[in-house]
Amino acid sequence: MASICYDPKLLANATILFLVLVSSIVVSCTGLVAALDSALLASEGKALLDSGWWSSYDNLTISHRCTWPGIVCNHAGSVIEISPSSEFHKVRDKFGKMNFSCFSNLVRLDLANHELNGTIPPQISTLPKLRYLNLSKNCLTGELPSSLGNLSRLVELDVSVNNFFNSIPPKLGNLKNLEILDMSHNKLNGPISQTLGSLAKLRYLNLHFNQINGSIPLELGSLTNLENLDIGVNDLVGSIPSTFSLLSNLIFLDLSHNRISGSISLEIGNLTHLEYLDLDSNNLIGSIPSMLSLLTNLNFLDLSNNQLNESIPSEIGNLTNLDSLNLFFNNIVSLIPSELGNLTNLEFLDLSYNQISGSIPSEIGNLTRLEVLYLYSNNLIGLIPSTLGLLTNLNSLDLSSNQFNGSIPSEIGNLNNLSTLYLSFNILVGLIPSEIENLTNLESLDLGSNNLVGLIPSELGVLKNLMFLDLNNNKITGSIPSEIRNLKNLYMLYLNFNYITSSIPSAFGNLRELRNLDLSSNNISGSIPTMLGTLTNLRYLNLSYNQINGSIPSELYKLAFLLSVNFSYNNLSGSVPFDLPPPFDTHLTCDSLHEQRVNSLEIFQATSFEGNKNLYPNFSNCSPLKTKRDSHSIKTKTKRHIHSIKIYLPITMSICLLFLGCYSLYRCKVKTTQVKATSLKNGDLFSIWNYDGKIAYEDIIAATEDFDLKYCIGSGGYGSVYKAQLPSEKVVALKKLHHREAEQPAFDKSFKNEVKLLTQIRHMSIVKLYGFCLHQRCMFLVYEYMERGSLFCALRNDAEAVELSWMKRVSIIKDIAHALSYLHHDCNPPIVHRDISSSNVLLNSELKSFVADFGVARLLDPDSSNNTVLVGTYGYIAPGKKISS
């Protein structure tokens, strides 16, 4: 539809006008130009009017249209800039109506962030004076037209965050004036065109997050003015070209998440301006070159997730501007050089998942700015140095899975900013230091699988923020201190495999947040306190292998969320207050029974009660118990249960919404750092509630091949959504926080918020959370999967919008209203979602709707002052509120 811009009729009119004007004057050259100019202006005016973008501004006089929003003219009244703001919705609806070829003086065209769809109109390539073209953050698709290469004056070209596919047109190499080229976040494939190497003025080249393959062309080395080169998250192979040493102005280099092999070339030492170097998640081998130490401006260095071996060069101590150093998941052997202590600006240090040996040098205490220190899964030995106590800014310390011996230094008490402390899987001895009481910000404490002795210190009771406490598999004796009652935020408590005596304190009744409680394999006696029946959030309870007597209190029956119990091998007596399903029955005789508790997915195993001489399970309502056990029938049973569970759909992402486009629907923003399945052990705030108590973390890693992109179904506000089929054939949706985002308190907070709220509420029209993993390395939530995605997307898809008849829409609204009424009136304290929008309403296969995304929701304390902070999504915020920027 390449329409002619110079409408012959208009041109004729202009000529007539011109002839009338000049009839008495000598025809001059300037006069002719004036005539052509007025023809141009007329056609510009017509194009603006016909586009309909400014339909409420109908005064077409030249002086007026130059004041329309987003239009700038030159002194002659010709349009040189079109950049309507993104609130200008008419651009989206009438994109195709604009005849771009009419603006022969146009210098700047900015249509970023307008939800534009379709392909790039060919007339854009005919704008002879265009210097700036920004089409980013739209839903544009198709190939990038080769004709863009005709825009020879172009200085900045931004087509990022769209759905462009196929390869980069080689003709872009003609844009000799180009300084900024951004094609990131598309679906471009094919190789990087060598012709890009002729863009001699280029300062900024971004191809991040595409599917570009092949090797990196040597020609890129000609871009000597380049300051920023980002070709991360693609499918590039081959080695880092030696010509990169010519890029002497480079400040930012990201080659991460490709399949780049070979070693890190020595030439990297020539890039002395480099401040940011990210080579993570490639196949790099060999050593970390000491030449790196020449990059003294470096403040970010990430070589994680490669196969680098040998040692950490002591020269790394010269990189004194470094604030982040990540060598996670390589094959590094040898010691931690003491020179590391010279990196006094370091805030993040991750050496975990290597084979680093020796002990931690005491110089580590010089890194006083350190906030995160991960050394887990190495072969470190010796004492935990007391100088760690100098790192008072530390908020995450993970030394687990090493061979540290000796006792926990009391200096640990100085780290009062610590929120996670993992020392599990070492051979630590001695007592748990009472100084731990200083760590009042602690949320996760894992000292499991060591040789710790003595009592559980009553000082633990002051750690009011503790959510996760794991002391399992030690040699802890004595009783559980009653101070435990103060841990009101505790989610999980693992004290199993110790020598704990006396009885279960009734103080447990105060732990209202408790989800998982494992006291198994101790010497606990006495009876089960009825107070346990007040733990309304309890999912998983294991009291097996103790000497507990008396009966199981019927109060436990009232725990609606309980999924798994184990009372086996105690001295319990009486009857079991749970309705047990017949373990091997394939009839439906028990369905009505299960219906009552179907929401809690309970499958209590008979084995959960065995080893108690006088305990009588109650199968009375069901068909007789068969004793034969075979895997087939168990499987059938499991399937039946899955079937009887209502399918709750839960991709709670603001998938289409946050960038106002659909571009990210099927894509993830970043590949995630690989985590070996074993990297999350007991020491992580990890819990997934399933029929058998837990879905193994390993199952999730296996099902998603370590969160491989191919399982990613969306990306949004924070994190990406993956689809995973578990061994049980159950399909779940995983909402995973990106690695970098996990380090940002705001994201971290909304993630935890969602966990907190969703595990407390239950409603037919609210998405149901099956579990979560809260570990700095890997944070995700688990929901059941739903095919139909968000209401927002469904309404934008023509076919789906038709399917959503008015009756269906009414019932969706009804469901949402019920859910909100439940949140506001039936929950105590009331919950306000604070971000109800069509993208936070999800649809299941039957088009039933569910409220999702509780990231900014709040518990409303009726006595507190009203909250004046505005949160939510523009366009959905209740009217009458003042929107400040």
365 is an interface residue for ligand NAG by CB under 6 A: yes
- What x-and-dash track marks residues 236-255 binding ligand NAG by CB under 6 A? ---------xx---------
664 is an interface residue for ligand NAG by CB under 6 A: no
Nearest approach in angstroms of CB 414 to ligand NAG is: 5
407 is an interface residue for ligand NAG by CB under 6 A: no
Task: Show contacts with ligand NAG in window 127-156 (CB under 6 A).
Answer: 134, 136-137, 156
Task: Show contacts with ligand NAG in window 447-506 (CB under 6 A).
Answer: none
544 is an interface residue for ligand NAG by CB under 6 A: no
Query: How many residues bind to ligand NAG according to rule CB under 6 A?
Result: 43
- How buried is residue 2: exposed, middle or buried, by Cβ count under 10 Å (0-12/13-18/19+)? exposed
112 is an interface residue for ligand NAG by CB under 6 A: yes
Query: Of the listed pieces 184-192, 357-365, 423-431, 705-713, which binds ligand NAG according to CB under 6 A?
Result: 357-365
162 is an interface residue for ligand NAG by CB under 6 A: no
227 is an interface residue for ligand NAG by CB under 6 A: no
- Token pair 């047990």: residue: 580
Which residues are known to be catalytic?
Answer: 835
- Token pair 């109800």: residue: 836
Identify whether the C-beta of residue 302 lies closer than 8 Å to the C-beta of residue 279: yes
Task: Show contacts with ligand NAG in window 259-288 (CB under 6 A).
Answer: 267, 269-270
670 is an interface residue for ligand NAG by CB under 6 A: no
Query: Of the listed pieces 280-288, 409-417, 463-471, 501-509, which binds ligand NAG according to CB under 6 A?
Result: 409-417
**H/E segment holding residue 735:** strand 731-736
341 is an interface residue for ligand NAG by CB under 6 A: yes
Rounded Cα distance between 762 and 25, Å, is: 86
Helices 29-51 and 8-22 cross at an angle (nearest 10°) of 140
- Amino acid at position 92, single letter: R
Rounded Cα distance between 851 and 502, Å, is: 46
Collect all residues with Cβ–Cβ distance below 8 Å to 510 and sequence separation of at least 6: 485, 486, 488
Which segments of 75-123 are extended strands (E)?
79-82, 108-110
The shares of helix, strand and coil residues in the chain, as percent rounded to the nearest 5, are 25, 20, 55
59 is an interface residue for ligand NAG by CB under 6 A: yes
446 is an interface residue for ligand NAG by CB under 6 A: no
In the complex with ligand NAG, the residue whose CB is nearer, 134 or 472, is 134
342 is an interface residue for ligand NAG by CB under 6 A: yes
224 is an interface residue for ligand NAG by CB under 6 A: no
Angle subtended at Cα 735 by Cα 424 and Cα 492, rounded to the nearest 5 degrees: 35
- Token pair 């040098």: residue: 361
113 is an interface residue for ligand NAG by CB under 6 A: yes
Instruction: Enumerate the known binding-site residues for ATP.
Output: 735
**Interface pick for ligand NAG out of 230, 278, 339, 853 (rule CB under 6 A):** 339
**Interface pick for ligand NAG out of 79, 80, 92, 670 (rule CB under 6 A):** 92
Q: What is the rounded (10 degree) CA torsion for 243, 244, 247, 250?
A: 180
- Amino acid at position 81, single letter: E
Distances in whole angstroms, Cα of residue 378 to Cα of each of 303, 354, 363, 372: 17, 5, 19, 17
Rounded Cα distance between 301 and 322, Å, is: 7
C-alpha distance across the termini of the chain, in Å: 41
345 is an interface residue for ligand NAG by CB under 6 A: no
Nearest approach in angstroms of CB 318 to ligand NAG is: 4
7 is an interface residue for ligand NAG by CB under 6 A: no
Nearest approach in angstroms of CB 265 to ligand NAG is: 10
Identify whether the C-beta of residue 86 lies closer than 8 Å to the C-beta of residue 114: yes
Instruction: Enumerate the known binding-site residues.
Output: 735
Rounded Cα distance between 346 and 319, Å, is: 10
The helix/strand/coil state of 260 is coil
- Token pair 């609606």: residue: 560
- What x-and-dash track marks residues 617-656 binding ligand NAG by CB under 6 A? ----------------------------------------
The closest alpha carbon to 539, from 726, 760, 697, 732, belongs to: 760
872 is an interface residue for ligand NAG by CB under 6 A: no
Query: Of the listed pieces 223-231, 410-418, 540-548, 582-590, which binds ligand NAG according to CB under 6 A?
Result: 410-418
The total number of residues shown for the chain amounts to 885
438 is an interface residue for ligand NAG by CB under 6 A: yes
Q: HSE-up of 395 (CA within 13 Å, CB side)?
A: 12
Nearest approach in angstroms of CB 63 to ligand NAG is: 7
Binding site for ligand NAG (CB under 6 A): 59, 61, 64, 92-93, 112-113, 117-118, 134, 136-137, 156, 158, 180, 182, 245-246, 267, 269-270, 293, 314-315, 317-318, 338-339, 341-342, 362-363, 365-366, 387, 410, 413-414, 416, 435, 438, 865-866
